[in-house]
Amino acid sequence: RYSARMNAVSLDSFAEELAALERIQEFSGRIDRDGLERSDALDLAILDLQLQSRASELRYRSYLLPLGRRSGFHFSFAGLPERSEFMTVEDYDRYIARMQSFLEHTRQQIELLREGIRTGMVMPRAVLDGYEETAAQHVTADPRESPFAEPLERVPAGFSPADRDRI
């Protein structure tokens, strides 16, 4: 049920991810590239670059800057209805669980922002101009008018009455 919740974004989770990436990089570094087919060596070189890039992001703590005017966790969450499948009861259950986990995810993001403030790693104010507009477009007075509620209005007729009522 990993996909039923939003990713953990704590300082500890990023430290664990970095440690895992470093272990993978170490393992990758021990692979004899001369013994690989050309396409496999190319794949491994691309993987090495991707691992190096993500590890650098984590070492430089880019996660302490989780939002901006054009990017951030609020953008990825806003796209949740479009990125989710709605074919089975389980699909709906995963979607609802992700929606329910947003509050905890947001709390974790706020903790990252606070750590950024504490350590002096913050975005310049000018970069955040207009940020509130990107978030405000998803706030509605009536939750049923939210784009997040739209998938819940089109539950397939083939679902059991109990599942339809629950969803």
Residue range 64-88, pLDDT digits in tens: 998 877 778 888 888 899 999 999 9
76, 82 contact by CB (below 8 A):
no
Residue 11 DSSP one-character state: H
Residue 2 has pLDDT above 70, yes or no: no
Residue 137 has pLDDT above 80, yes or no: no
Name the burial class of residue 118, with classes exposed (0-12), middle (13-18) and buried (19+) by CB atoms within 10 angstroms of its CB.
exposed
State both tokens at 141.
């007075």
Task: Give the pLDDT confidence score for residue 112 in this predicted structure.
Answer: 97
**How far is residue 93 from each of residues 97, 111, 112, 135, measured CA to CA in Å?**
6, 28, 28, 25
Name the burial class of residue 80, with classes exposed (0-12), middle (13-18) and buried (19+) by CB atoms within 10 angstroms of its CB.
middle
Shortest CA distance to 22 belongs to which of 45, 43, 52, 47?
52
- Flag whether the pTM goes above 0.85: no
Q: Rounded CA gap, 64 and 116, in Å?
A: 5
Q: Which residues contact 155 (CB under 8 A, 6 or more apart)?
A: 92, 163, 164, 167
Residue 92 has pLDDT above 90, yes or no: yes
Task: Give the pLDDT confidence score for residue 69 in this predicted structure.
Answer: 74
